[in-house]
């Protein structure tokens, strides 16, 4: 598992390990044993209002909505 902040290079690191991204420098080496899988994440939003994207089809709950709507 690779964890980090948004934009810290997690996907780039994994894509480089899989040979899907070109290296600028040829220093270092990598050996992968076994099987490897990569499932990229794609950001998405529902077509509708911000409120609808917070509720995801659930009934309106003032406390839940206010907790997310900061």
Distance, in Å, from the CA atom of 61 to the CA atom of 57, rounded to the nearest integer, reads 11
Answer whether 12's CB lies under 8 Å from 21's CB: yes
Please count the structural domains in the chain.
1
Domain range for 39 is 10-68
- 38-70 tens-digit pLDDT: 777 777 788 888 888 878 888 988 887 787 766
Question: In terms of C-beta density within 10 A (0-12 exposed, 13-18 middle, 19 or more buried), how is residue 17 classed?
Answer: middle
| pTM value > 0.85 | no
pLDDT > 70? residue 13: yes
* Residue 33 lies inside a defined structural domain of this protein: yes
- Supply the pLDDT for residue 69: 61
Tokens of 54: 């917070």
Tokens of 52: 């609808």
Instruction: Based on DSSP, count helices (H) and strands (E) in the chain, helices before strands.
Output: 3, 0
Mean pLDDT throughout 23-46? 77
* Residue 5 lies inside a defined structural domain of this protein: no
């Amino acid at each position: 598992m690779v964890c980090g902040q948004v934009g810290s290079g997690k996907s780039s690191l994994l894509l480089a390990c899989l040979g899907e991204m070109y290296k600028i420098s040829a220093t270092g080496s990598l050996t992968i044993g076994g099987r490897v899988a990569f499932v990229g994440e794609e950001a998405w939003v529902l077509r509708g209002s911000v409120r609808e994207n917070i509720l995801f089809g659930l009934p309106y709950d003032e406390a839940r909505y206010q907790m997310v709507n900061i």
